[in-house]
Structures are given as C-alpha cells and as structure tokens.
Amino acid sequence: MIQKKVCMVGVFGTGKTSLVQQFVHSLFSVKYHSTVGVKIDRKAVEVDGTAVTLVLWDLAGRDASQDIPLSYMRGAHALLFVADGTRRETFDQLDDLQQLARSAAGEVPSMVALNKADLTDQWILGQGDEAALAARGHLLKTSAKTGAGVEAAFAWLAREALRAGGSGA
Amino acid sequence: MSEGPRTVAIDSFGLTDIGKVRELNEDQFVVATLRKSVRLRHTSLPDAGLVSRLAGAESHLFVVADGVGGRPGGELASTSAVSSLLEYLDHAVVAYHELDTDQEQNLLASLEESVQRAHDKILADYGSATKGPATTLTMVTLSWPRAYLVHVGDSRAYYLRKGRLRQLTRDQTTGEYMVDLGAWTEEQAARAKVGANLTSAVGGQEMTPIVGLIDLEPGDVLLLCTDGLTKHVGDPQIAAVLGGSGDAEAMGRELVRQALELGGSDNVTVIVVKLGG
C-alpha cells in the first residue's frame, strides 16, 4: 500500500484538526481543543485507480509560546497550510510558515486552505488577498463545519503527492 | 529527528494501588526498556563506535490499563490487553534513534495494530463486546526524543514542560462526545450519569485508538495515569508534584498518596518518567 505523509500546518485555531476530523470521520466538533504535539489519522483514498493511504499529521498550531518543530515536517510528501478567513494574522503568517515548512520538507506539493468558508460574512480578507494567495499556488476555500471543499482539498494533495513521488511511498 | 542531545538519562517509575473502596485492583501497568541486541565479536570497521551506538540504542515502553468497572472481568481485560501488547511489540518494535518516513509510518501502524490485536484477543477469549470484559489503554513508546502515543478510553497521558502541564490525551467518554457535538454543556456532561461512560474501550463495543506523537525535551516530565488519580487530584496539584525536585519514584508515590488521601475511590495507577535535563 502506498502511504503519503501529509502535514497540516498553520497558526493555532485555524481549523486544522476540524478539517481532518471532517475528512476522516465526517464529524464537526463545536468545542475547540488545541492540539498538543501531533495527532495522526489515516484515510485510504483512490487516485485514478491507485489506492493511497494518506497519513495525516495534524500539527499543533503556531502560537506566541511555541513554533512548529521542523522535525515533525521532515519526510512529508505534501503540506496543507490552513488559514482562517476571519483572522488576519493567520493569513499574514503564511509566507513565514511556508518557508519554515520548505526548509524541513523540501519542495513538496502544497496548497492553502482558506478555512471557515461558512463564516464568509465575518471574513476580513479582501479579494486582493485571495488573488495574491491564488497567484502563488493552489488555493481552496474550505469549511470544516459544512464539509465544503474538504474532500477536494485532500484529493488534490493525494494526487499531487502521488504524481511527485511516483508509486513509491 | 531533533537537534537536541542524542540521549538523555531517563528515570521512570510505575506504581499501582487498589485504593480505599474497591475489593479488586483492575489496573495494570508496564515500564519496559526495548534494546537492540548487537554484540560486537570481531570487526574490520574503522568506526567500531557505530556498533556500540547501535547496541546502546533503546526504546522505552510505558503502558497503563484500567479494567472497565461495571463489567465482569475488568482485571482479565487489562491483564490480557497489556500481555498481548508486550508479546506483539516484542516482535514489532525495534529501538531506533533515526527513522525515515516509511519506517516511522510502519512503526505507527504497528503500535496501532498492537492495540487492535489486544482488542481482538479479548473478544476471542471472553466473547461479547457488549457485556464482556473491557479496558482502557494508554501506551507511550519513547525513542528519544520522540514519544509515540496510542490511547483508548479515559486513562490519561500528560507532560510537564517548564512548569506547564499539558494533557496529551482526551477522554473518550459520552460526556466529552456530547460536549464536542454541542449537545451538552460541560456542566451537563459532569452531572449526567452516563457522562463518564466510555465511548471507546479495548474489548468494548467500540474501539477507536487515538494515535499521536510529541518530541520531548530534556527536563520534561511525562505522566501516564488511570482515572483513579484524576478523579481526586487536579491538574494544578499534578503540576506541583511533577515540578518538584524529587525523582520519578518520589513523584509517583506522592501522586498516589494524594489520590488515597483525597478519597481513593478507585484503583489508582501512575507512571512517571523524568527526562534528564
């Protein structure tokens, strides 16, 4: 079985855990729990007839007291950066987080999920921000609450990880 | 995996007590060291130190299990689960200091598989998932600096770093589940009779192992415990004990002493691991 390690990276509270929970268990928790260390889930998907197990590393988010250890991202086959459309700082730190992740994982497929798409009336990001993000790489709006965009995000990562790494793990 | 020291001194201690109310101790624990077996007899290697480093590589295994009350044979379940784990992990886990991505994925899968096997063995040996024996299980495999965690039920793992206590596990109970869904408030969960019921147990109707990891640092203190501790001793008290100056044994004994002094309503089991700093 081909396995691909996918790291979820972002500032705390952007919904990384909720995206994984929605993708793997089709559940949404209304209570916020900050992740400690790394929580690991698996989900088998199929990419153009090839079975792939995504091993999802849900990394504790960056906050004022802790950065994301590089050691967690080493060996990742793909990266999912998560920002929260209602919080400017989660968007502003994306550049820095992407550089940090690249220093650990190298040039692997990555995308940005602009999460909390169910709260667009509270978003503070303008169309210019979204256009700037989209110009730099793959971007999807997601909602861990409704499930919008979630399957599509992980399907894209699985396909690109497989394409980048061939059939090997 | 880390730019920190390659090894640290590890001081660990486990202790269980029947408590003041129960007639039987249904908890079990294990503190074990797993070593690579490399004996250098003759070599042409210029770097003989390589072999000695391999021989010195070791991992540490820490497990607590709490037989589920209200079902017959809780002690059978915790004993069977922990024994099954040890048998499987003896074959599956080799002490590594540096794992590549594939090896690490395989290790994680093996750890999860070990719990699944323990679950299957209980069902095979004792039958019914609804009425037969069941147990919680919290297991940490430490291959410095990385601690791999597999967790089922409401026993807990914590770590203390620079005075701050963090809970690594989340209780798999009806109360937690209902609060997560937004159906209950924390207060309703605390009051509800079924709030403490397990939604996941080894040998139970549902068994959903949670897998995680964390890179530890010199000076950290790890704690695994059954709910006989946390029913009585709160996080601030736990942090105060783990932040003290004693060794792992002194800390473990003090935590159990406090649980007994504050009621001892359940079996209480702790494992304390001090990582030299």
Q: Which pLDDT score, from 0 to 100, does residue B2 have? A: 44
User: DSSP secondary structure string, A100-161?
Assistant: HHHHHH-S--EEEEEE-GGGGGG----HHHHHHHHHHSEEEE--TTT-TTHHHHHHHHHHHH
Fill in the amino acid letter for A150.
V
Give the integer Cα–Cα distance in Å for A115 and A148. 10
Instruction: State how far the alpha carbon of A147 is from the alpha carbons of A16, A153, B22, in Å.
Output: 13, 11, 46
Residue B42 has pLDDT above 90, yes or no: no
Task: Note every long-range contact of B236-244, with CB atoms under 8 Å and residues 24 or more positions apart, other chains counting.
Answer: B238/B158, B238/B165, B239/B160, B239/B163, B239/B164, B239/B165, B242/B158, B242/B160, B242/B165, B242/B272, B243/B160, B243/B163
Fill in the amino acid letter for B60.
H
In a domain, B198, yes or no: no
Q: What is the ipTM of this complex?
A: 0.90
A to B CB pairs, distance under 8 Å: 54
Give the integer Cα–Cα distance in Å for B29 and B267. 12
- Band of residue B170 on the pLDDT scale cut at 50, 70, 90: very high
When pLDDT is averaged across residues B69-81 and rounded to a whole number, the result is 81
For residues B141 and B97, the model is more confident at B141
Tokens of residue A168, six digits: 């090997």
Where are the alpha helices (H) located in B57-173, listed in sequence order?
74-92, 101-126
* End-to-end Cα distance, chain A: 8
In a domain, B175, yes or no: no
* CATH code (residue B123): 3.60.40.10
Give the integer Cα–Cα distance in Å for A23 and A30. 16
In a domain, B3, yes or no: no
- Band of residue A142 on the pLDDT scale cut at 50, 70, 90: very high
In a domain, B193, yes or no: no
What are the tens digits of pLDDT across the range B9-21? 999 999 999 999 9
Q: Mutation test of the interface with chain B: which of A31, A59, A77, choosing the one with the most B Cβ atoms within 10 A?
A: A31
- Taking CA atoms, what residue in A is nearest to B182? A30
Q: Which pLDDT score, from 0 to 100, does residue B181 have? A: 87
Residue B248 has pLDDT above 70, yes or no: yes
A29 and B181 in contact by Cβ < 8 A?
yes
Torsion sign, CA atoms A95, A100, A105, A107: positive
B211 and A41 in contact by Cβ < 8 A?
yes
Q: Which residues contact A140 (CB under 8 A, 6 or more apart)?
A: A111, A112, A113, A114, A149, A152, A153, A156
Q: Is B126 left (phi over 0), alpha (psi -120 to 50) or beta?
A: alpha
- A34: nearest Cα among A22, A23, A18: A18
Give the integer Cα–Cα distance in Å for A97 and A47. 28
When pLDDT is averaged across residues B194-202 and rounded to a whole number, the result is 94
- Band of residue A70 on the pLDDT scale cut at 50, 70, 90: very high
A45-49, B42-46, B258-262: the lowest-pLDDT one: B42-46
What are the tens digits of pLDDT across the range B110-122? 889 999 999 999 9
In a domain, B230, yes or no: yes
In a domain, B75, yes or no: yes
Smallest Cβ–Cβ distance between A37 and the set B1, B105, B214 belongs to: B214
Q: Which pLDDT score, from 0 to 100, does residue B118 have? A: 92
For residues A167 and B178, the model is more confident at B178
Kindly report the CA angle at B167 between B83 and A142, in degrees rounded to 5?
110
A10-19, A104-113, B52-61: the lowest-pLDDT one: B52-61
- B74: nearest Cα among B153, B150, B20: B153
When pLDDT is averaged across residues A106-117 and rounded to a whole number, the result is 95
If 0-12 CB within 10 Å is exposed, 13-18 middle and 19+ buried, where does residue B155 land? buried
What are the tens digits of pLDDT across the range B120-142? 999 998 877 677 889 999 999 99
Q: Which pLDDT score, from 0 to 100, does residue B1 have? A: 47
Smallest Cβ–Cβ distance between A38 and the set B2, B181, B213 belongs to: B213
Evaluate whether the domain defined by A2-165 bears CATH number 3.40.50.300: yes
- Taking CA atoms, what residue in B is nearest to A31? B180
Give the pairing of strands B221-225 and B268-275: antiparallel
Q: Which pLDDT score, from 0 to 100, does residue B105 have? A: 85
Domain hosting residue B97, numbered range: 10-168+203-275
In a domain, B5, yes or no: no
Q: How many domains in chain B?
A: 1
What percent of chain B stands above pLDDT 70?
86
Upper half-sphere CA count for residue B42 (Cβ side, 13 Å):
0
Model-level pTM?
Answer: 0.91
Touching check for B188 and chain A: CB below 8 Å?
no
- Band of residue A168 on the pLDDT scale cut at 50, 70, 90: very low
Give the integer Cα–Cα distance in Å for B23 and B193. 23
CB A79 within 8 A of CB A105: yes
Q: Which pLDDT score, from 0 to 100, does residue A153 have? A: 97
Residue B186 has pLDDT above 60, yes or no: yes
Tokens of residue A94, six digits: 């994306």
When pLDDT is averaged across residues A5-10 and rounded to a whole number, the result is 96
